[in-house]
Amino acid sequence: MKVENAVYPNKEQMAGFLEPGRDGPIYMVNLLRFRDRAEYQDGRETELTGREAYAIYGEAVSRLLPEFGGGAMFKADVSRLSLGEVEDLWDAVAIAMYPSKQAMLDMMLSPGMQEIGVHRAAGLAGQLNIETVDGAGLWLGQEGFGRE
C-alpha cells in the first residue's frame, strides 16, 4: 500500500465533491502530519512550530464549521501504531462532521476558510483526509458487520 500525504486535494479528489453520493452527513477523518517549523507561503518569519500554526487554524475552523452546519467531533494525538505497518505515523487525528459534501465544499471555498488556510498550509507537512459516512448497523455484534 502506497501512502502519500498531501496538503491540498488533487483535481480528481476535488471533482469527488461534485459527484452524486449518499445524502446526509459525512465525517472527514483527518490524519495530520506537522512540520517541525511552520513555513508560511508569504515568507513571513515565525518561531511557530507546525503544530502551533495548525492550532491557530484548528481554533478558527472550529468556529467556522457551525456556520456550514458542521462541527468538530474528535481530536487526539497519535501515540503509537498498534496494528499494521506504515513508514511514518501521523501526529494527530481529527474528525469533523459536515451535513453534506456540498456543505464541506462551500466551507472550503468560503472567504473565512481562505483567510485561515494560511495557517493550515504553514503547519502541515501533509495529511490524509478520509471521507466516511454513517454505517448504521455495521458495528460489531450488529447485523451486517462481517456477516453474510
Q: What is the pLDDT of residue 147?
A: 46
The C-alpha cell that represents 73 in the structure block:
467531533
Average pLDDT for the chain? 87
Long-range contacts of 133-140 (CB under 8 A, 24+ apart): 133/21, 133/22, 133/24, 133/25, 133/26, 133/27, 134/24, 134/25, 134/27
The DSSP H or E segment spanning 115 is helix 111-123
**pLDDT score of 120 more than 80:** yes
10-48 residue pLDDT tens: 788 777 767 777 778 999 999 999 999 999 999 999 999
- pTM for the model stands at 0.82
- How far apart CA 94 and CA 124 sit, in angstroms, is 13
Mean pLDDT of 104-109: 92
Q: What is the pLDDT of residue 11?
A: 82
The C-alpha cell that represents 140 in the structure block:
460489531
pLDDT > 70: what percent of the chain?
85
49-72 residue pLDDT tens: 999 999 999 999 999 999 999 999
Domains of the chain: 22-80+87-133 (3.30.70.100)
The C-alpha cell that represents 29 in the structure block:
477523518
- How far apart CA 31 and CA 139 sit, in angstroms, is 22
**pLDDT score of 145 more than 70:** no
Q: What is the pLDDT of residue 86?
A: 85
Name the amino acid, one letter, at 131: E
